[in-house]
Amino acid sequence: MIYRFTIISDETDNFIREIQIDPEDTFFDLHQAILKSVGYTADQMTSFFICDDDWEKEKEITLEAMDDNPEIDSWVMKETPLNELIEDEKQKLLYVFDYMTERCFFIELSEIITGKEIKTAKCTKKEGEAPKQTIDFQETVSNSGSLDLDESFYGDQDFDLEEFDKEGFEGFDDESDPAPSSEEEHL
């Protein structure tokens, strides 16, 4: 049996990789195949996440053991075979390759090929350039535009402090009484 994974990125439109691997290989084997297919180094902290159909994270498979608590389920890449956590076609995973900025690849088990075997994982489709392996936080902020903190961020720079509605700021100075809690309001 062979698992065929399709890997895409939300950073690069034409990026795609397909990796075929034995289901009994570990997540570490898949990790190494991904690194090789995109030309990344193995010196970064990475994790896989098993996801639901809406890409919500459910289980994490870490590169290194993170938790010593025996009551909490934890999975380590080198110790976890793929078929222990992945059984169905269309299963979704995230592969976080840049922990500092939460950048990741989106992975789907696109096909389970029965009646065939594979000795080592291999990349069977390679299109487009992979995104850079790491970028610094400042570059992420400037590229996303989500933290646009220029002079117009707060609106008109010539604001008048007297124009602010003080009711919304109760409890922030010593003169006003703090807003009653919801329990006090019902008494």
Q: How far apart are CA 141 and CA 163, in angstroms?
A: 32
pLDDT at 63 > cutoff 60:
yes
The answer to whether the CB of 80 falls within 8 A of the CB of 23 is no
Q: Which domains can be identified in the chain, with CATH numbers? A: 2-143 (3.10.290.30)
**Residue 121 structure tokens:** 């994982």
Residues 80-103 have a mean pLDDT of 94
Buried b (16+ CB within 10 A) or exposed e, 106-142: ebbbeebeeeeebeebebeeeeeebbeebbeeeebee
User: How far is 126 from 37, CA to CA, in rounded Å?
Assistant: 8
The mean pLDDT value for 27-33 works out to 98
Q: What is the pLDDT of residue 28?
A: 97
- Model confidence at 167, in pLDDT bands (50, 70, 90)? low
Evaluate if residue 27 carries a pLDDT over 60: yes
The amino acid sitting at 184 is: E
> Does the pLDDT at position 75 exceed 80?
yes
Instruction: Determine the pLDDT at residue 172.
Output: 53
pLDDT digits (tens, 9 = 90+) for 146-156: 444 444 444 54
The H or E element spanning position 27 is: helix 27-38
Whether 36 shows a pLDDT value over 80: the answer reads yes
CA distance 8 to 16: 5
Is 72 or 19 the better-scoring residue by pLDDT? 19
Q: Using alpha carbons, select from 72, 71, 75, 102 the residue that is nearest to residue 86.
A: 75
What's the whole-number mean pLDDT along residues 78-88?
A: 96
For residue 120, what pLDDT band results from cuts at 50, 70 and 90?
very high
